[in-house]
Amino acid sequence: MSAPLEGIVVVDLTRALSGPQAGMMLGDLGARVIKVEAPGHGDDSRSWGPPFVGPEADQSTYFLAANRNKESITSDLKSPEGVELLTRLVQRADVLLENFRPGALDRLGFSVARLHELNPRLIIGSISGFGHDGPEGGRAGYDQIAQGEAGLMSLTGPDPHNPQRVGVPIGDLLSGMNLAYGVAAALFERERTGRGRVVRTSLLASVVGVHALHGTAYTVADQVGRAQGNHHPAIAPYGLFACRDGKVQVAVAAQSQWSKFADAFGLDPQAPGMATNGERVRNRVAVIVAVEAAFASWDAEPLLARLAELGIPAGKVRTIDEVYEWDQTVSQHLLLSVDHAVLGPITIPGSALRLDDNPYCGGRAEHLPPPLLGEHNESVRAWLDDHDPPPAP
C-alpha cells in the first residue's frame, strides 16, 4: 500500500482546531506532518477539557481528536533559535500551515515573499477567522463566534427566537477540511508549474460556503431562512416525528415516496394542502400533526422496520456511545487503534476516507498516535541535520 501524499512534508504551525484538522487530514493521507508548538504549554487545545486522561490526568481528549499522524517539536518562533529552526524546516517542506491572525507570520519575519524566497515550491496554507483582508480581516476567530456572525446560528434551533450553535465546532472543522483540499489541489498544480502558491480560507468563508439552499433562497428569491427545529425548510414530511415510545426521523423527499408513505399510514396523498411538496411545505404544521397522529400507535423499532420495507429513508437519533458501538460504524473502519506514549493502546476516531487498497482510514498503512509535547524534538532535528541543503557558496 502507498499513501497518496507519501513523501510530502508538512510544517504545521497551527493550534486549536481548524488548522490542526487540516494537518491531520493531510497526515491521514500519508504526509509527514511536523507540528511546531510553543515550549511549556504547546497547542492551546492541550489544556482544553475535561475530560483529561492518563496517569497524571493531563492528556486532553480534545487534543487527541485533531492531532493523529503528527510529530511534535517545540520552539519559540520569536527567538533566534526558533527563526533558524523554522527556516530549516521551510527549506525542507512541501507545505506550511498557519492559522495566526493575519500579519502575525510577517511580524515573525516569514512573509509570503520570504517563505517563497526560502523555498519557491512551498505551498502555504492559511486559515483566518474572517478573511485575510477586508474591513474586519484582522479579527480573531473562534468557532462559536463565527457560527453566529456567519448566520449558521440563525438557522439552528427550535425557532427564530432561540438561536443555537451546531453541537460540534463546525466552522473550525469545515475550514480545516477546505484548507486540506485546497492544499492537495495546489500540490497537484505544482507538478505542472514547479512553484508553490498560497491557499487561504476562513471560518467565515467556510460557514457561508455551506449555506447551500439558504444562500440561494436569499440571493435569488430574497427569502431569509430562519430556524425551525428538526424539520426541513424545503421538503415535507422530512424531520423528526414522535411515535408511541419515542421519536424517529423520516425523509419523504420524492413525490413517489409520498404516495407510498401516505397509503401505508392511512393518509390521503391528494388531500387539500398535501398533494404536492410545495403545498406540504406551506402547510408543514398540519403535515406534522397528521404524520404524528398516524405514528401514535407505532413503537419506534417496528415503525422503522415498516419504513424500511416501504423504501422510505428513516432512522433513529443515536447517542455518541451508541454510534461507536454500532456494528455499521465498526464495519466502516471509523475507529483506529494506536499506541500512545503515555496512555498506551487507545482507540480514536479515524479518517472519513477509505482508499481501495486500504480500508483502514485514509491512506496510511500505519497510523501515528497524537504526540506528546516535544516528543520528536531530537528525531526531527536529527533529520534536519542529515538533510539540510548545502551552504551557499
- The pLDDT, as a whole number, for residue 389 is 67
Q: Is residue 78 classed as helix, strand or coil in its secondary structure?
A: coil
For residue 297, what are the domain limits? 238-318
Q: Are residues 251 and 278 in the same domain?
A: yes
**Rounded Cα distance, 143 and 229, in Å:** 21
Single out the residue in 260, 295, 318 at which a domain terminates: 318
- The pLDDT, as a whole number, for residue 355 is 86
Q: Are residues 274 and 200 in the same domain?
A: no
The answer to whether residue 274 is domain-embedded is: yes
The answer to whether residue 226 is domain-embedded is: no
The answer to whether residue 41 is domain-embedded is: yes
Reduced 3-state DSSP string for 191-243: HHHCCCCEEEEEHHHHHHCCCCHHHHHHHCCCCCCCCCCCECCCCCCEEEEEC
Domain count, the chain: 2
Q: Which residues of the chain have pLDDT under 70?
A: 1, 357, 359-361, 389-393
- The pLDDT, as a whole number, for residue 393 is 45
- The pLDDT, as a whole number, for residue 392 is 52
Q: Are residues 71 and 131 in the same domain?
A: yes
- The pLDDT, as a whole number, for residue 138 is 85
The answer to whether residue 217 is domain-embedded is: no
All 3 cell numbers of residue 56? Answer: 497524571
Q: Are residues 34 and 60 in the same domain?
A: yes
- The pLDDT, as a whole number, for residue 360 is 63
The answer to whether residue 1 is domain-embedded is: no
- The pLDDT, as a whole number, for residue 1 is 66
CA distances for 241 relative to 105, 322, 353, angstroms: 51, 20, 32
DSSP-assigned letter for residue 101: P
Q: 44, 133, 172, 385: which one is catalytic? A: 172
pLDDT tens track for 56-76: 999 999 999 999 999 999 999
**Rounded Cα distance, 315 and 62, in Å:** 29
Say if residue 251 is exposed, middle or buried (CB neighbours under 10 Å; 0-12, 13-18, 19+). Answer: middle
- Asked about 172 being catalytic, the answer comes back as yes
